Amino acid sequence: EADIYQTPRYLVIGTGKKITLECSQTMGHDKMYWYQQDPGMELHLIHYSYGVNSTEKGDLSSESTVSRIRTEHFPLTLESARPSHTSQYLCASSDNRGSGANVLTFGAGSRLTVL
């Protein structure tokens, strides 16, 4: 079944640790995104990619980095986590073909807590 997967679902780590949040989709979508969401707040775009070897920063400044070496894989990395990075991170993908243009399919999210 075509879907988008995020791991880990929950992560609690100490300050200064390096973490990578994984995101994979099996739908062959060209576009992929990372959003950050805090409780009761709107989603904020932090990174996006239009295809392999394409990555751009989003509207919200983030110390994280991303890579897109394969179409289906869009991992997000924090080199040195801080408590201010505590948040929910949502990965999404979309294609721009037909009537479903740019409709996002979201993963279940990764809840990061930095102590």
Partner 1 sequence: KNQVEQSPQSLIILEGKNCTLQCNYTVSPFSNLRWYKQDTGRGPVSLTIMTFSENTKSNGRYTATLDADTKQSSLHITASQLSDSASYICVVSDRGSTLGRLYFGRGTQLTVWP
**CB of 57: closest distance to partner 1 in angstroms?**
13
**CB of 64: closest distance to partner 1 in angstroms?**
18
Residue 75 CA to residue 65 CA, distance in Å, equals 8
CB atoms under 10 Å from CB of 63, counted, come to 12
- Which residue, 16 or 52, has its beta carbon nearer to partner 1? 52
SS3 category, 99: helix
- Which residue, 58 or 72, has its beta carbon nearer to partner 1? 58
CB atoms under 10 Å from CB of 6, counted, come to 21
Q: Which residues would be at the binding site for partner 1 (CB under 8 A)?
A: 4, 6, 40-45, 90-92, 101-109, 111
**CB of 85: closest distance to partner 1 in angstroms?**
19
- Which residue, 17 or 111, has its beta carbon nearer to partner 1? 111
21: tokens are 């949040």
Query: What's the Rg (C-alpha) of the chain?
Result: 14
